[in-house]
Amino acid sequence: MARVSVESVKNVQVRVEAGDHNWIADEPLGIGDGAGPGPYDLLLGALGSCMTMTLLLYARRKEWPLERVEVDIQHDRVHAEDAANVEKSGGMVEHFKIDLVLHGDLDDAQVERLSDISTRCPVRKTLAGTHVFHHTAKLAG
């Protein structure tokens, strides 16, 4: 199970801790101080990191010559009627545009397989799955 702790620092900045690692998240100037990536930057970074690591580990296991992976991800919220393959209209859907660039002496079949494997990374599965949130709030002290 993954666990992250987040604590407010100043303005809207937060300190994020995950095991031995910590970093600052913030909003851009005007809303925040621009001291770190925003929440959606972190989300897209998690997705791109997971896709990249999944591909590198898969290629290593198959002994394929995948040298490097580049992932460019854009996110937007669009009206459901503007999105392709949406069963319900009227609401908003999350739209992710993912451009994957693979480096290495790979054949067409390997590129196609790696493209398929990239859609199976755990973070993408989490984003695409059904979600259940258990939420509590309490006053400090």
Residue 78, pLDDT score: 83
Q: Write the Ramachandran bin of 62: left for phi over 0, alpha for psi from -120 to 50, otherwise beta.
A: alpha
Residue 139, pLDDT score: 87
For residue range 7-64, list pLDDT tens digits in order.
Answer: 999 999 999 999 999 999 999 999 999 999 999 999 999 999 999 999 999 999 999 9
3-class DSSP state for residue 95?
strand
Residue 58, pLDDT score: 98
How far apart CA 135 and CA 129 sit, in angstroms, is 19
For residue range 55-105, list pLDDT tens digits in order.
Answer: 999 999 999 999 999 999 999 988 766 555 555 555 788 899 999 999 999
Tokens of 131: 């979600």
In which order are the strands placed within the sheet that holds 21-25?
5-8, 14-18, 21-25
